[in-house]
Structure 1
Amino acid sequence: MLDANRSGTATASPRAAATQLAVTAAVPVPPLSPAGFAARCTRLLLSPYARLSLLVALLVAGAVGVLLFEPQRLLTHGWPPQLGGFAAAVVFGAAYGLCTVAFVPRPLLNLAAGALFGSQLGLATALAGTVLGAGLAFGLGRLLGQDALRPLLRGRWLKAADGQLSRHGFRSMLAVRLFPGVPFWAANYCASVSRMGWLPFLLATALGSIPNTAAYAVAGARASAPTSPAFLIAMACIAVPALAGTVVAWRKRHQLRGR
């Protein structure tokens, strides 16, 4: 029922208003089910930026762990005496891979591998750790960071680097490994954000890391005789690719600027 007030405006009668309120109160409001709440939480946790936050947290935790445990002490204190032979090489290779994910420089680890295990076994251990660390970093970046970071590739240099890695993955990564200049961890995570495949990335890492890793392993094994021909040749093999990589990077810099 509608009643007219003095100003001529129609208003609802008290009985009609009470009936409407009773009907509204009688309509049940569906509660949020546990399944729906769990689905929302799952979507939130699996969102690109939540996964990127997890990746950053893991990397920060790894860097802090490296600062606390100081793996570079292997060069001065040596390997624990409880481990020896092949078991020590396996443990060192696994630790090598984890350390590279946590930003420990590979030259330091390569020198340690040569000093602890000699040239041949040190080279094999360091290469195994290199591939393991590269695979771990690539997987973490691909799983936790790619979806959030790819929309941010808007700059000219970023687009050019992404296109090079995506279209010519094996060739580009092989050049990065052969001519050092880009930090190992940075190359891993940049490749994971691109559309490079797993097989080209790992194969290029394994092949391209052999010369530089061998040079460092020999240098570490012969560090006690710095005037020996083997040590001097190893240092030359380290310096020449570094210089060549600097020249190539300088030329690529001018090419990118001209685009």
Structure 2
Amino acid sequence: MLAPVPRPPGSLAVRCSRALLSPRSRLSALALLLLTAASLVVLYEPQRLLASGWPPQTSGAGAVLLFGLAYGVCTAAFVPRPVLNLAAGALFGSAFGLTAAVAGTVLGAGISFTLGRFLGQDALRPLLRGRWLTAADGQLSRHGFRSMLAIRLFPGVPFAAANYCAAVSRMGYVPFLLATALGSVPNTAAYVVAGAQAGTPGSPAFLFSAGFIVLSGLGGAVVAWRKRHGLRAPVPAPEREPEPEPVGGVR
């Protein structure tokens, strides 16, 4: 009887590490992490900051920095950005509130992008089939900055969904973060100013920001409806070229 071939030392550890680092395992870890974050949001409701106010022991630039960090973590955990933008304006005013909100937006987008890129990209890219998914992946991969800038300016696209779609594509970090910073300013500023002027709802600044929010939302709904209608249109089948005539006329 042949003696069993001894396994090299550390082979079990290598197999375990490969299993833990496999695309499916990382995707499962991402799903568990996102589910935990969503559950914590439902249980603890961090958006109550808008009603309860900021802790009195924090003020000045330190408070703005702390709020920006908390904003980023909360958006990565699916807290709605409009609520946090209103809170930023109510707590810090228009200028400092906008600074904290935009910084928190970029931070939250970076957190989501990093999680999606390292935990979900390898497992999800092979699943990108179909006309819509293929077109979206190609647009984000080839024209990352321009596409993400348009997405951020468009108020109807969910923030978290855009982050993870970009992470699954081949878009780079720099175009993603730069487009997020620039494209999120208009709508973020409108909510921050509305929060800062909430005590005087008849002021021109509040009316202008509220009108901008309403008009941008209606414009986003119209664009989304037109895009959806266009995607439903049947795609014409490509014309087939005639087959070459066989030699001697025999098929």
Quote the offset at 1:165 in angstroms: 1.3
SS in 1 for 2:125: helix
- Provide the rounded CA distance (Å) in 2 between the counterparts of 1:140 and 1:34: 33
Quote the offset at 1:176 in angstroms: 1.0
> Does the 8 Å contact 1:160/1:256 carry over to 2?
no
Structure 2: gaps (5+ residues): 236-251
- Provide the rounded CA distance (Å) in 2 between the counterparts of 1:33 and 1:78: 61
Quote the offset at 1:34 in angstroms: 4.3
SS in 2 for 1:80: coil
Please tell me the residue identity of whatever aligns with 1:35.
Answer: G
Please tell me the residue identity of whatever aligns with 2:53.
Answer: G
Quote the offset at 1:227 in angstroms: 1.4
Deviations 1:168-196 (A, max 9, x none): 21111111111210110011001111111
Quote the offset at 1:203 in angstroms: 0.8
Give the aligned partner of residue 231 of structure 1: 206
Give the aligned partner of residue 38 of structure 2: 63
Structure 1: gaps (5+ residues): 1-23
Aligned length: 234
Is residue 2:141 matched to residue 1:175? no
Q: If you compute each CA radius of gyration, which structure gives the higher value, 1 or 2?
A: 1
TM-score (norm 2): 0.89
Please tell me the residue identity of whatever aligns with 1:53.
Answer: S
Residue 208 of structure 1, aligned match among 179, 183, 187: 183
- Provide the rounded CA distance (Å) in 1 between the counterparts of 2:56 and 2:6: 63
Give the aligned partner of residue 154 of structure 1: 129
- Provide the rounded CA distance (Å) in 2 between the counterparts of 1:201 and 1:244: 24
- Provide the rounded CA distance (Å) in 2 between the counterparts of 1:213 and 1:56: 28
What are the within-5 Å matches in structure 2 for residues 125-204 of structure 1?
125-204=100-179
Please tell me the residue identity of whatever aligns with 1:141.
Answer: G
Is residue 2:211 matched to residue 1:243? no
Is residue 2:86 matched to residue 1:111? yes
Give the aligned partner of residue 73 of structure 2: 98
SS in 1 for 2:201: coil
> Does the 8 Å contact 1:113/1:122 carry over to 2?
yes
Identity of aligned residues (%): 69
What RMSD over aligned residues (CA atoms) do the two structures have, in Å? 1.3
- Provide the rounded CA distance (Å) in 2 between the counterparts of 1:89 and 1:99: 15
Please tell me the residue identity of whatever aligns with 2:22.
Answer: S
Deviates further, 102-111 or 62-71: 62-71
Quote the offset at 1:146 in angstroms: 0.6
Quote the offset at 1:257 in angstroms: 2.8
Give the aligned partner of residue 244 of structure 2: none
Deviations 1:24-46 (A, max 9, x none): 1xx33234444101110111011
